[in-house]
Amino acid sequence: MTTIRILPHPEYCPEGATVQADPGTSICEALLEHDIKIEHACDMSCACTTCHVIVREGFNSLGEMDESEEDLLDRAWGLEPNSRLSCQAILSQTDVVVEIPKYSINHAKENH
């Protein structure tokens, strides 16, 4: 099992969280399976940026980023060099630490 430590986020996990997931699982799937309700407006089909995370530790252990993910990340709010779409970031056996950005570009949510 791989450990994912999620840094505190005011909405999704105010105290932070630590979850376990099998290698080969995406970060997004793992968070959702543990009731951390990260946004995923395109239903994890690599068509939006709402599941954007910043990988603070273990970035290089994740599965390769493909061109469509790279193109989408250019539109993500708060983009950093170690940003990934959590629906495309596939875990290996290396533990990771992720930060969920404070905002996303989910227009439906912004209109609440």
Q: Report pLDDT for 109.
A: 46
pLDDT tens per residue across all 112 residues of the chain = 999 999 999 999 999 999 999 999 999 999 999 999 999 989 999 999 999 999 999 999 999 999 999 999 998 888 999 999 999 999 999 999 999 998 776 544 443 3
Residue 63: domain span:
2-107
CB–CB of 16/7 below 8 Å? Answer: yes
Q: How many structural domains comprise the chain? A: 1
Question: CA of 4: how far to CAs of 13, 14, 63, 82, 102, in Å?
Answer: 13, 16, 15, 15, 18
CATH number of the domain enclosing 55: 3.10.20.30
Whether 80 is covered by a domain: the verdict is: yes
The enclosing H or E element of 27 equals helix 27-33
Whether 7 is covered by a domain: the verdict is: yes
Whether 83 is covered by a domain: the verdict is: yes
Q: Report pLDDT for 102.
A: 85
Whether 112 is covered by a domain: the verdict is: no
